[in-house]
A and B are shown apart, each in its own frame.
Chain A
Amino acid sequence: MSLFTEFPAMGRQDLRDFKKAIDAGFRDFSRQFGESLEEFFSPLLQFLVWLEKLLISTPWPVIILLVAALAWFGSRSVKIAVGSVLSFLAIGYFGMWKDTMSTLAIISVATLLCIALGIPLGVLMARSDRVQAVVTPVLDVMQTIPAFVYLIPVVMLLGIGKVPGLIAVCIYAMPPIVRLTNLGIRLVEKEALEAADAFGANYKQRLFGVQIPLALPNIFAGVNQTIMMALSMVVIASMIGVAGLGVPVLRSISNQYLALGLMNGLAIVALAIIFDRVSQKYGERLQSHRRGTQHD
């Protein structure tokens, strides 16, 4: 009867050995390749450090002007530009300027990295059903696996620091841009592609002349989602040594500092809203051709 009341699990000893073997295997792997991997990522680290230092050392009025200019040219909306400037002034006034600059640096680098890897991957997925069948479950895992679980191997491999933090952010934030690039290209009207073929477009002309431009609204929605998800990883990234707004949040969790946590949390929210509104408005403007009188 015990067969039905207790699951016929693997023996304890076997299970322990099994786990040990995996741990040992990965430890050996990280000993052997850890350093070369670190070296591989070092240009990324240097870029991130450079950007962070640049943002921190730039006088704050310049940054405020820059924010105003980017918000305006992105959205062409006075309301959004003014709101962005006020948010940054408040952030500075409440003493969160430096942390915000650090967070901006890592979010920008993470987003650029996700775009640089995610769009080509999305293009490949759109081109081949087989690639799509392989990549889709991987994306599902990346989005749903608890962040702490992949922090373990990342930290084992690369230690604590900015690069493992960046990788953790990218694992979580990359799926939307890949998915939406794939979707956008697959949704491009068949007639538009057939016309490109009929006039003798080659693969490159098809991709860059027709597919990507027509998929741009979707691709841009992916970029927007990627930025949002990267921001939501700020606190977790701070656990493995990434400077920024996540660090005080983490400190306030362990010390029950309500005000500190709330203020930094709200700063993250403010950044998220600014990024979202500006990038959405920009995305809408990319589709100027869809405006105008619609004819059938």
Chain B
Amino acid sequence: MTESKSGAEDGAKGGTKIKIENLYKIFGAQPRVALARVKRGVSKRDLIEQHGHVLGLKDINVEVAAHSVTVVMGLSGSGKSTLIRHINRLIEPTAGRIMVDDRDVLAMAREELIEFRRHQASMVFQRFGLHVHKTAAENVAYGLVIQGMPVDQAKAQSHHWVERVGLSGFEDHYPSQLSGGMQQRVGLARALATDAQILLMDEAFSALDPLIRSDMQGALLELQAELHKTIVFITHDLDEALRMGDSIVILRDGAVIQQGNPQEIILHPADDYIFDFVKDINRARVIEVKSVMTPGRPAGGAAVTVRDNLVLEEALQRVAGAGAADVVDADGAVLGSIHLEQIIAGIARPGVKGGGEIRYK
């Protein structure tokens, strides 16, 4: 959990890259009519049962910061895969806007959209979406070939991505000859090879075994520390969301119910639904010192210092002897203090300590 998340420390983060505004998606024969109903307050359930339309997304407003990983989390059926497919318009919206660098993706003409997909946003799929009749190297080169590059040149130009994702020696294997993890490496390399700034990852690691998934997460974080892409990462797995996300958006029934950084979501879950999600995670490995410290004043006489972004599990080892420590930032400036009790309270599972303060209604 201690990998540096993209740009969190080097300040490479820019402004907003993708801005989703008032996005609605309704599946059915007459989405416009159903949209009016939804805006009048008809619930998702009533819309299905009484009007035969499925509410896919409801009034989504999300900002994705440039050069960071934004995780969209939710259970199946929450609309997360529908949402990510709106960003490159694999699914047409019912209403709303998606601004990417001040251009509305949803207003693009066919040709503009194709250019956008070729050069600005690439995608990694849950079930890989590889072309089984092409070799690994041909799959990786696919985006460049689609841009009009001759196959040989595209393969040469994309070859370093084959190496970067650890596929050297497998260039001429067909997807059916590769394991799931290897196939997704092909999928990832294919997405990186177009040099698109935006990377859309639709449950990219969900189909993989836990160990391989963890490997891939690490590999992606390593790449991201260097490439600073704008990544939208879909997952149903909270641990994955906490590990990957600079910020997290939680969806339920097609609506956003909370968005914020991982610390905020764990310490202040917006409702019972999210509380249920976060209550079982290992808080010691996620919560950072700065989230539980007493800001402002030094501990007074404490010889120990800890970094503000240290997770509690590690802070605990250092603070255990002294009982308290000063919290410092990357430059060594003192931000506040932390006491052993604060760390322990932060680690304790909510509900267990009998406190009702985290329960939200």
Contact = CB atoms under 8 A, between A and B. Distances in A.
A197 B90 contact: yes
A290 B143 CA distance: 23
A199 B125 contact: no
B131 interface: yes
A216 to B, nearest CB: 8
Interface string B168-210: 0000011111111001000000100010000010000000000
Contact of B176 (A209, A213, A216, A294): A294
B142 interface: yes
B145 to A, nearest CB: 8
A209 B138 CA distance: 12
Interface string B304-341: 00000000000000000000000000000000000000
A192 B131 contact: yes
A252 B131 CA distance: 54
Interface residues of B, number: 37
Given A195-B131, A289-B132, A200 B147 contact: yes
Nearest to B127: A191
B53 interface: no
Given A199-B122, A199-B194, A194 B129 contact: yes
B88 A198 contact: yes
Contacts of A213: 131, 133
B132 A192 contact: yes
A295 interface: yes
Contacts of A290: 132, 176
Q: How large is the interface on A (under 10, 10 to 19, 20 to 34, 35 or more residues)?
A: 20 to 34
A214 B174 CA distance: 13
Contacts of A199: 117-118, 122-123, 142-143, 146, 190, 194
B115 interface: yes
A293 B142 CA distance: 23
A290 B130 CA distance: 13
Interface in B238-276: none
Nearest to B174: A289
A201 B177 contact: no
A214 B133 contact: yes
A137 interface: no
A191 B176 contact: no
A6 B309 CA distance: 97
Contacts of B177: 292-293, 295
B146 A201 contact: yes
B203 to A, nearest CB: 12
Contacts of A288: 174
Nearest to A191: B129
B123 A210 contact: no
A67 to B, nearest CB: 30
Interface in B83-135: 88, 90, 113-119, 122-123, 125, 127-134
A296 interface: yes
A209 B146 CA distance: 9
Contact of A198 (B90, B127, B147): B90
A291 B134 CA distance: 13
Contacts of B146: 196, 199-201, 205, 209
The CB with the most chain B CB atoms within 10 A, among A192, A202, A291, A293, is that of: A192
Contacts of A198: 88, 90, 117, 122-123, 125, 129, 200
A232 B11 CA distance: 75
Contact of A191 (B128, B147, B178): B128
A197 to B, nearest CB: 6
A292 B123 contact: no
B167 to A, nearest CB: 15
Contacts of B183: 295
Contacts of B88: 198
Contacts of A295: 176-180, 183
Given A201-B146, A289-B174, A295-B180, A214 B117 contact: no
Contact of A292 (B116, B127, B130, B176): B176
B142 to A, nearest CB: 6
Interface string B121-163: 0110101111111100000001101110000000000000000
Contacts of B122: 198-199
B130 A195 contact: yes
Contacts of B175: 289
Contact of B133 (A191, A289, A291, A293): A289
Contact of B118 (A200, A216, A296): A200
Contacts of B127: 191
Contacts of A294: 176
Nearest to A296: B180
B59 to A, nearest CB: 25
Contacts of B129: 191-192, 194-195, 198
A289 to B, nearest CB: 4
Contacts of A205: 146
Contacts of A202: 114
Nearest to B128: A191
A214 B145 CA distance: 18
Interface in A170-225: 189, 191-192, 194-202, 205, 209-210, 213-214, 216
Interface of B: 88, 90, 113-119, 122-123, 125, 127-134, 142-143, 145-147, 173-180, 183, 190, 194, 200
Given A189-B132, A199-B123, 4 more contacts: A192-B132, A195-B131, A288-B174, A295-B177
Name the 5 nearest CB pairs between A and B, nearest first.
A195-B129, A200-B118, A200-B117, A292-B177, A289-B174
8 contacts: A192-B132, A194-B125, A197-B117, A199-B142, A200-B119, A202-B114, A213-B133, A214-B131
